[in-house]
Amino acid sequence: MIRELELDWGFVSKYLVKRIGDYIRAAGKDGAIVGLSGGIDSSLVLRLLREATDNVFVLLMPSESTPKEDIEDSKEMLNVVGNPPHEEINIDDVVSTIVSKTGIHDRLIIGNIKARTRMTLLYAYAQKLNYLVVGTGDKSEILLGYFTKYGDGGVDILPIGDLYKSQVRRLSLYLNLPKRIIEKPSSPALWKGQTAEEELGISYEKADEILYYCFEKFMEPEAVSKLTGVDENTVKRIVKLVKMNEHKRRTPEIFKISERTVGSDWRYPRIWG
Ligand SMILES: Nc1ncnc2c1ncn2[C@@H]1O[C@H](COP(=O)(O)OP(=O)(O)OC[C@H]2O[C@@H]([n+]3cccc(C(=O)O)c3)[C@H](O)[C@@H]2O)[C@@H](O)[C@H]1O
Ligand SMILES: Nc1ncnc2c1ncn2[C@@H]1O[C@H](COP(=O)(O)OP(=O)(O)OP(=O)(O)O)[C@@H](O)[C@H]1O
Ligand SMILES: [Mg+2]
């Protein structure tokens, strides 16, 4: 990881724990729920949540494409954080019902149905418990649009959303998360054998450098290519992915008719505080 992305991980973890706790209290909620996949993002978020609140609920939602190692890693992670209340719900029957009612066979579309089924379950439990749904997206995934819109992207807060995947690994190392979880290749596991780096066509290590130089240092693709050793076309492809997926980072467009359109620049009148 490039030097510029190194942070004081002790400070970052304390800061995130405090922000999560403050947010839950300010929202008037009693706790937080998270989906645990056995991957690094949800493991790290669970670790932070356990310090932020006494009330954490964890959902394991495997499907036929979930590797058995991921289920083992999820259970190990539950142990590491002292076995908070949790439930395991296999989503295959729900997904099959949607597949049979729609006749859809495309693995990407079915994968996105899986992510949205998990979101539906998380919100059902959140409302039952008066908890918030805590998202696990990191800065790399958010910028690249590497998540399912209203699936794993459908959450209330994103505590690690300002950390690139390589920073997520560093923070997880600092917090002593299980080695196997830190070292395994990132995967949404939406279909068998899927890995994030293969689908994205680049390693997260390199993608993070490109994202940092392009979007935080505003450097041109040619200069970023020289600095990172990644060919210029790949740099341009990454920039294009970020642009193409802008819609996933925004609230849905409302077409303006009145003087007071409820858009992203909408503000409360002063008298309402
Ligand atoms: N310009 C635009 N303005 C407004 N909306 C627009 C739009 N372009 C597309 N859309 C909408 O967005 C939809 C496409 O987005 P979406 O449904 O998300 O689908 P899509 O981006 O095609 O697929 C999700 C991607 O994220 C990956 N993923 C998913 C889940 C988890 C993880 C992970 O890392 O764990 C990764 C997955 O492997 C796949 O590559 C379109 O069908 C359309 O409805
Ligand atoms: N089998 C599952 N059970 C419960 N939640 C899941 C499952 N699969 C995915 N999720 C939820 O969807 C999120 C997005 O998946 P994603 O693969 O990006 O994260 P991860 O597995 O935690 O880390 P990585 O990106 O390194 O694989 C997960 O963090 C988790 O909250
Ligand atoms: Mg994963």
Q: Within a 10 A sphere around the Cβ of 121, how many other Cβ atoms?
A: 18
The CATH superfamily of 3-196 is HUPs (3.40.50.620)
248 labeled part of a ligand binding site: yes
Q: Which residues line ligand 1 (CB under 6 A)?
A: 108, 111-112, 115, 141, 145-149, 151-152, 188, 190, 196, 199, 247
- Give dist(CA 193, CA 65) in Å, integer: 8
pLDDT at 38 over 80: yes
Instruction: Flag whether the ipTM exceeds 0.90.
Output: yes
Q: Is the CB of 188 inside a 6 Å radius of any atom of ligand 2?
A: yes
Q: Report the candidate in 98, 97, 95, 91 with the shortest Cα–Cα distance to residue 62.
A: 91
Atom 14 of ligand 2, residue of closest alpha carbon: 152
Q: What is the pLDDT of residues 125-169, one digit of tens each?
A: 999 999 999 999 999 999 999 999 999 999 999 999 999 999 999
Query: Could you identify the residue written with the tokens 């932070």?
Result: 48
Nearest CA to ligand 1 atom 6: 247
Per-residue pLDDT reduced to its tens digit, 220-260: 999 999 999 999 999 999 999 999 999 999 999 999 999 99
d(CA 48, CA 59): 16
Single pTM value for the model:
0.97
- 58 CA to centre of ligand 2 in angstroms: 12
Distance from the CA of 113 to the center of ligand 1, in angstroms? 11
135 has binding-site annotation: no
Q: Where are the domains of the chain?
A: 3-196
Pocket probe mutation, ligand 2, options 42, 116, 173, 200, max atoms within 8 Å of Cβ: 42
Number of the ligand closest to the Cα of 111: 1
Whole-angstrom distance, CA of residue 182 vs CA of residue 44:
10
